[in-house]
Structure 1
């Protein structure tokens, strides 16, 4: 994936740290959309939001 950097994306979407986006990218690369599904009961960002951010990055 190329395009905007994780720091710029975090700032643009109000995400607390750019490492969250890097984690999403790695999970997407390993498992596709299923890798973006929530893994815990406490949900901070929806799967669709994650996909939207990754699409905006490209």
Structure 2
């Protein structure tokens, strides 16, 4: 199911899903001193103005 999103900055609803390269942006719990298998960070980005509409990880239960 695809959820429609609206950019809070320009009001457009055309977004593109992007991901940051693993290693540069992986997400790990803040209370862990060392974590080697962080989760990749994904972004829904407005194609009209470039605003990041939403950031998320897949599988938050793995944190």
TM range (shorter): under 0.3
TM-score by length of 2: 0.25
TM-score, structure 1 normalization: 0.26
Q: Which has the higher contact order (CA 8 A, sep 6+)?
A: 1
Query: Which entry has the higher C-alpha Rg, 1 or 2?
Result: 2
Greater share of residues in helix: 1
The structure with the greater share of residues assigned to strand is: 2
